Structure 1
């Protein structure tokens, strides 16, 4: 009945126009498309339409529900999980402000699921859940009060704060009693959540039989997870458990092996399909399962590649959870192969990653089981104790009532109005320093993911005027690297109202100790899940200077700053693209002018010959001997062939501008032999000597195009070589990725000026090359550059020439 109502609402909205409630119809319909039809693209489009209608009509009464469905069930199929993570917390405040507590707190529940999925610091998430649980308990009869304790206890278990490694029992939680109660009231979803936590715990601790039993408890109810990231987690861990059991020593009956193998294949197919939409949320998991599966199959080289790919992707997508798992499995893979040094490297890294994630029990287990492999590294998770979350200290209504709204608007407009990067950075720092109780600030920006610099430094002088310095190196003397590196890695905001008291370790930071910083703020500037910069502000005079209002304003401005930095980068890229496109068009205009000259001049000459010889034949037909007539006909044919050669060259030049061609590994020896046979008569007529190299490296390219390059180079060597021509063809490996192929002739060679113009389209060099139309080498250049290589010439006047091209090794 509800589905029919939604479909009817969508139909009426599309036929008659939207109403405020249309946003709810669209987002629910989008969810149905994803859940029931697996149509992720269409579901996402309807979700976007719902948001557009929501904002168009400012339908606040529907905001919590629409945002919950979109961010909880639709968005992560098409966007990185981090974007849903941030929006779900924001939606909690939407629910509070509109009185829609049910969907506000449900958003918190899904936040914890997705926080686990991306590997957000476990201690930080557990603290967040505890605070939200206190908020929820103030509202009597709220359904969410039955769920919060389960999720909080699940994170406590992952932190190692329960009575046993795979149990959720604790001082305030009786697992058996809770499961019995849930069974009595037929709450299968909550039961499945408990067993999901136990499945993850058991697998991580290496208790694979227990993990399999827990997975079987979840399996009948996994459909209740569909549409959320719990379903993805179950698909992932279900495969890991079954491949782990297959990899266990001992005999297994054929039916079990077939069943496990089939189940793993089905799960892998799902992950692979989902990864086509959003690789960041699914691809690292797919590679890890594939690595474990191939290890069992004995494909050791392929398995290692998949381990490394899983690790690399998890690092790239900042998924600590999967990264820690993948590194641990890679360590055990190398250990089984007797590669102790390599295993030690991976195991030490796994220990560090689990510690950074705050999976303390797992980190201790690795230290206990592999003491000879684990080299201690200090995890950074301790900063979680000084993290300040806005989730419990502010909401939209609090910010609006406590802050000067006009000041916020002016500040955000000042930031948003700048599109030139350097100007924006300076304006951003000025706005921050003007509105905050600080003396100095830094805007950190990335050169690369691992290399950062200070985009602008701002400080207030004695007269409270702001001085700015752009583009400085990021070194220990200029910034608290312990603090900034943590924010860069975790994307978490840090508010320290008393630096030494909040975390005594910061007293050891060289910058903090030297500058005697009393209070500091360090914020990530994140837009669309990507870190665009880091803002650091400090007070060296007093502690406790940052109020809730200051923090709220900082987060508003940081959000605007991240968007503005993105826009400025896009504007700069656009200007660069416009400049490049303008230069390209100017080049094309020059080519077009030269092309016109070729058509008008080079084609005119043989065409005039054809007309002239034909007129002679027509006028003197009765007076010419057979031999004379034959000679005139041959001249007509030669002129026509020359025209065809010019036209073929023009067509080839044009086709190299077309779309991509299929690349394959080339047998270069065969290609060279084919082109030699193609030029057989020309070689015989010129009595040329051709010397071929005995061996040829394997490269990647497009055979038809590469053949044309060889034919062009060889034709030039015949035409402009010695008398008789001597032509050498060979190859050499330049480096691990590139091979060079060359043709050397014994001609008169070229001057440096001629070499500089040689590959320019429609350019002719000297009287000896006057019968050329200037296309061949430019075609060769365009072909090779399209295939990822380069062309060139090495020549000295009077010493012959060597023409070469490079291609990627196969």
Structure 2
């Protein structure tokens, strides 16, 4: 931001100003100032038309600033918009983060649970498909909270069920030091435990989540945490000790003062919370008249701002308060009101809890009271209203079914089956935009029994639908409902209608933010007026979800291809990197280095080291070209590499014209000496054959000495740049003496190697040689494999 102020703004400045606004709100408590910086970010976003930054800038503004300054209901639409933009621009992590916050805000502001759970589940599935594990986990803990309130868990206060396993996720969060995930777990359990009367457990989770508040800087969870914590302390007040009572009251009073400040900036979100905390404080202090007034204030303000769940909570607390005051009529009034609001919220588990705890006060309320709130038309058209509610329920389920699919072909099949089922159509087609035209992408017949995914068939000239009707929808971007196709004067010239058996046609535009992305074309060949207004309205509602889902699926398909291409590229680069590493290090050491970013030196009690050297190479190289100096030893060493691989020998290094390898590491084995001697004989024989070929071709002749010694070594990686795998110890010095004391074309081994292989190879004793730190060392020439072993 300092750079922007000094040198002028750019598109990146939008994010900088918004982030500074978060600091103002979350750290300094200057909500209005933070809000101004957030709005400045939005102004710059519009000024620079920085669509590629829109999803990122919406994160601080609508996740962390607006909740302190406006009604929380101002955040869902922008957060949902940012999801689609993020998918389009590639800001997938921010898109998923914003959508997770959308679900959280909806949950904490009391949106209907049934629909919200379906929506949250569909977003979680999308997160999972995009490999957004963190956002997936954060979303699922809240979804499990929804499921608990919906009554779809074994225990209302245990976050284990369809979406979440609190034991597993707690361990995972602790292992990863995921403080945000730990906060969400304890915070969600705080709400559940308080709501279902487990106040001691609620207090424990409040204490745990309080320790983690810094992990959720400026989020809407913070005031809600303080709200539920204070309610919990007040619920436990009567059963607390004197010292604890004083501590609790101090904390509650501090929370009330803070809530009042927050309510000054955003009364829609926090004023009813302030009133309810005051009511509960007055209750425990015995100021019953003030308590009653504050309960009513909390209920009224919560209702005005559509916090249905907290309105219900205030009514429940008021009802319990009046039971204690022996005001039976008031108690019944408030508890029945609470019951109705919990039902409107969808909290079936709370309804059961109220029925068990206060049966005499809520009896009969569930038999039908409150249904009038679902219809604005009073008692008229009850049958039609019930039909509409039934269809709406179907569409909500259908919408969830559509959002579950992200693979385009599967999505198209799924949505065509859903549309056909809901529309009562015999035939149906889905047309999608291809550049400036529309093509038929999916077709369903036999009332949805079959769905075919087509290969982008041009609708014009296809002869399988009414081009006239489709053209009308393209031009008008409005629904076309043809109730009597044969007699509709608008389409009397349509050849398709004349020749076919079609009776009714419904053609709907699929609009995505005002742009026509597709067309849904449906036919009924058996009856006129098949597509009623109810069906049209419901399918129009569903078409919005279709547009979003198709757009997501196309983005996903494009992204999948990009990811596949990039993954293949990365895999190729990784293979090159791994192959290069394996050329330098043993496989086990390479894996250790990749896994731990370091290797640990190891001591091997017994290995067999081989050392080879070309006799007179330095003198010979004076007669060779630079290319020959590299190529000739390289050809020999390439053969040695293949021999080592065949005999489980680990190449260590080449130094000029010398070659070192070891048997028995990095994985210790009991055959290292025999493997190494066998490999040495193969190298000797290969050089002999190569000499004959070189002599015929007039090339330089290489003579080789080979020495082996068996003993202990230390092995490890040396260096941090141009590192190498090497071995150290007297064994290395001794094998160098074995090679130097050997003869051309012979394999010279030490006494320790001889003792390990004497039963397997024919050897000739040839005396002793001085070795550093070893004194006199026996030497043997290996002649061949023992004849009995060969047999």
Please report the TM-score for the alignment, with normalisation by the length of structure 1.
0.49
Cα distance in 2 for partners of 1:341, 1:405 equals: 68
| Change over 3 Å in CA distance of 1:402–1:263 after alignment to 2 | farther
User: Residue 303 of structure 1 corresponds to which residue in structure 2?
Assistant: 291
Q: Is the 8 A contact 1:26 1:46 kept in 2?
A: yes
Aligned 1:737-776 pairs, distance under 5 A:
none
User: Residue 238 of structure 1 corresponds to which residue in structure 2?
Assistant: 229
Aligned 1:511-590 pairs, distance under 5 A:
518-520=532-534, 538=537, 548=543
SS in 2 for 1:373: helix
> How far is the alpha carbon of 1:432 from its aligned partner?
14
Aligned 1:427-576 pairs, distance under 5 A:
435-437=478-480, 518-520=532-534, 538=537, 548=543
Cα distance in 2 for partners of 1:433, 1:333 equals: 60
Cα distance in 2 for partners of 1:545, 1:256 equals: 58
User: Residue 270 of structure 2 corresponds to which residue in structure 1?
Assistant: 282
User: Residue 241 of structure 2 corresponds to which residue in structure 1?
Assistant: 253
> How far is the alpha carbon of 1:342 from its aligned partner?
1.9
Choose from 189, 214, 217 the match for 1:223. Answer: 214
Q: Is 1:186 the counterpart of 2:229 in the alignment?
A: no
Aligned residues: 434
User: Residue 54 of structure 2 corresponds to which residue in structure 1?
Assistant: 63
Cα distance in 2 for partners of 1:116, 1:549 equals: 23
Cα distance in 1 for partners of 2:333, 2:530 equals: 37
> How far is the alpha carbon of 1:200 from its aligned partner?
0.7
Q: Is the 8 A contact 1:517 1:538 kept in 2?
A: no
Q: Is the 8 A contact 1:438 1:538 kept in 2?
A: no
Give deviations 1:601-637, integer Å, cap 9, x for gaps: xxxxxxxxxxxxxxxxxxxxxxxxxxxxxxxxxxxxx
Cα distance in 2 for partners of 1:261, 1:550 equals: 49
Give deviations 1:502-525, integer Å, cap 9, x for gaps: xxxxxxxxxxxxx9984538xxxx
| Change over 3 Å in CA distance of 1:62–1:434 after alignment to 2 | closer
User: Residue 370 of structure 1 corresponds to which residue in structure 2?
Assistant: 358
Give deviations 1:657-676, integer Å, cap 9, x for gaps: xxxxxxxxxxxxxxxxxxxx
User: Residue 80 of structure 2 corresponds to which residue in structure 1?
Assistant: 89
Q: Is the 8 A contact 2:147 2:153 kept in 1?
A: yes
SS in 1 for 2:9: coil
Q: Is the 8 A contact 1:355 1:363 kept in 2?
A: yes
Give deviations 1:373-417, integer Å, cap 9, x for gaps: 11223566986664376994999x99997499999xxxxxxxxxx
Cα distance in 1 for partners of 2:490, 2:404 equals: 30
Please report the TM-score for the alignment, with normalisation by the length of structure 2.
0.50
User: Residue 325 of structure 1 corresponds to which residue in structure 2?
Assistant: 313
Cα distance in 2 for partners of 1:197, 1:109 equals: 15
Aligned 1:38-437 pairs, distance under 5 A:
38-140=29-131, 142-170=133-161, 173-246=164-237, 248=238, 250=239, 252-374=240-362, 375-376=365-366, 377=369, 386-387=395-396, 392=403, 402=433, 435-437=478-480
| Change over 3 Å in CA distance of 1:18–1:103 after alignment to 2 | same
| Change over 3 Å in CA distance of 1:402–1:315 after alignment to 2 | farther
> How far is the alpha carbon of 1:172 from its aligned partner?
5.9
Q: Is the 8 A contact 1:165 1:201 kept in 2?
A: yes
Higher strand share goes to which structure?
2
- Segments of 4+ moved more than 3 angstroms: 140-143, 378-395, 397-407, 430-434, 437-440, 461-465, 515-521, 544-547, 549-553
Cα distance in 2 for partners of 1:272, 1:185 equals: 37
Cα distance in 1 for partners of 2:360, 2:436 equals: 60
> How far is the alpha carbon of 1:65 from its aligned partner?
0.8
SS in 1 for 2:152: coil
User: Residue 660 of structure 1 corresponds to which residue in structure 2?
Assistant: none
Cα distance in 2 for partners of 1:432, 1:339 equals: 66
Q: Is the 8 A contact 2:481 2:531 kept in 1?
A: no
Cα distance in 2 for partners of 1:394, 1:54 equals: 32
| Change over 3 Å in CA distance of 1:44–1:181 after alignment to 2 | same
SS in 1 for 2:65: helix
SS in 2 for 1:372: helix
Q: Is the 8 A contact 2:302 2:311 kept in 1?
A: yes
SS in 2 for 1:19: coil
Cα distance in 2 for partners of 1:300, 1:81 equals: 32
Q: Is the 8 A contact 2:263 2:271 kept in 1?
A: yes
| CA RMSD, Structure 1 to Structure 2 (Å) | 3.8
Which ranges in structure 2 are unaligned for 5 or more consecutive residues?
375-388, 413-429, 439-472, 492-519, 521-528, 549-791
Q: Is the 8 A contact 2:342 2:351 kept in 1?
A: yes
> How far is the alpha carbon of 1:21 from its aligned partner?
0.9
Choose 1 or 2 for highest CA Rg.
2
| Change over 3 Å in CA distance of 1:142–1:336 after alignment to 2 | closer
Q: Is the 8 A contact 2:482 2:488 kept in 1?
A: no
> How far is the alpha carbon of 1:546 from its aligned partner?
6.8
Q: Is the 8 A contact 2:63 2:219 kept in 1?
A: yes
> How far is the alpha carbon of 1:548 from its aligned partner?
2.7
Cα distance in 1 for partners of 2:276, 2:108 equals: 15
Which ranges in structure 1 are unaligned for 5 or more consecutive residues?
1-9, 408-429, 441-460, 466-496, 498-514, 522-536, 554-810
SS in 2 for 1:356: helix
